[in-house]
Chain A
Amino acid sequence: MGNGLAGTTLRINLKTSVVRRLPTDEALFRRWHGGRGITAKLIYDEVPREADPLGPENIFIMNAGVMSGAFIPAGSKVSFGSVSPLTNGHGDSNMGGHLGPALKFAGYDLVVFENIAPRPVYLVIDDERVELRDASKFWGMKSLECEKALKDELGEDFEVATIGPAGENGVLFSCITHDFGRQAGRTGQGAVMGSKRLKAICVRGSKSLRVHDLPELRKQVTEIMLRTRKHPNMEPWQKYGTAFFIRWSNDNAVLPTYNFQTTHYEDTDKIDGDQLVTKLLVTHKACFGCWMNCGKYTKAVVPGKPAVYLEGPEYETGALCGANLGMKDIHHVAYINWLLDNLGMDSMSGGGVVAFGMECYERGLITEADLEGHALRWGEVDDVEHFLDMIAHRRGIGDWFAGGTKRAAQKIGKGSEKFAMQVKGQEMSGYDGRWAPGMLLSYMTADIGAHHNRSWTITVDMAEGRERIAGRAKIVIYLQHIRPLFDTWCICRLFWGELDITPEEIVESLNHITGWGVGVDECLRTSEMIWNLNRCHYLERNRANGRTFDYPPARSWEDKIPSGPGKGKGLTREQIEEMLDDYYDERGWDRRGNPTRALLEDLGLGDAADNLEKIGLLGEPLPGGIPKVRGEKYKPKAF
Chain B
Amino acid sequence: MVIYLKAGSELRLKLNPDVDFYTRRVETEEGKTLREILKDIRLAPAFVAFAYSEGRIFSLDRAPRDGQSITLQPPVSGG
Residue numbers of A with Cβ under 8 A of B are 96, 231-233, 235-237, 239-240, 242, 244-245, 247-249, 251-252, 274, 294, 314-316, 319, 429-431, 452-453, 456, 458-459, 462-463, 492-494, 497-500, 637-638
Contact = CB atoms under 8 A, between A and B. Distances in A.
Contacts of A242: 76, 78-79
B47 A462 contact: yes
Nearest to B60: A251
B49 A245 contact: yes
B46 A252 contact: yes
Contacts of A248: 49-50, 75
B75 A245 contact: yes
A500 B73 contact: no
Contacts of B57: 240, 244, 274
Given A244-B49, A248-B49, A500 B76 contact: no
B52 A494 contact: no
A233 B78 contact: no
Contacts of B25: none
A252 B50 CA distance: 13
A498 B74 contact: yes
Interface string B56-79: 010000000000000101111111
B79 A497 contact: no
B18 to A, nearest CB: 15
Contact of B79 (A236, A252, A314, A637): A314
Given A294-B79, A458-B75, A233 B50 contact: no
Given A274-B57, A500-B8, A233 B74 contact: yes
B76 A499 contact: no
29 contacts: A232-B22, A232-B23, A232-B71, A233-B7, A233-B74, A236-B50, A236-B73, A237-B73, A239-B55, A240-B57, A244-B49, A245-B75, A248-B49, A248-B75, A249-B75, A251-B46, A252-B46, A274-B57, A314-B78, A315-B77, A316-B79, A430-B78, A452-B78, A456-B76, A492-B79, A498-B74, A499-B9, A500-B9, A500-B12
A233 B21 CA distance: 13
Given A235-B52, A247-B50, A252-B46, A497 B9 contact: yes
Nearest to B79: A494
Interface of B: 6-10, 12-13, 21-23, 44, 46-47, 49-50, 52, 55, 57, 71, 73-79
Contacts of A236: 50, 52, 71, 73
A247 B46 CA distance: 11
Contacts of A493: 79
Given A236-B50, A239-B52, A500-B21, 17 more contacts: A232-B7, A236-B52, A237-B73, A242-B76, A242-B79, A244-B49, A244-B50, A248-B75, A252-B46, A294-B79, A315-B78, A431-B77, A452-B78, A462-B47, A498-B74, A499-B8, A499-B9
Nearest to B12: A500
- 8 tightest A-B CB contacts, nearest first: A315-B78, A232-B6, A456-B77, A316-B78, A236-B52, A232-B71, A248-B49, A233-B8
A498 B76 contact: yes
Given A232-B6, A232-B8, A244 B78 contact: no
B36 to A, nearest CB: 16
B21 to A, nearest CB: 8
B8 A498 contact: yes
A615 to B, nearest CB: 35
Contacts of A498: 8-9, 74, 76
Which of B13, B21, B57, B75 has the most chain A CB atoms inside 10 A of its CB?
Answer: B75
B73 A233 contact: yes
Contact of A459 (B12, B21, B47): B47
A452 B8 contact: no
Contacts of A494: 76, 79
A247 B75 CA distance: 11
A233 B76 CA distance: 12
A233 B9 contact: yes
A183 to B, nearest CB: 10
A315 B55 CA distance: 21
Nearest to A318: B78
B62 to A, nearest CB: 15
Contacts of B23: 232
A232 B13 CA distance: 14
A251 B78 CA distance: 17
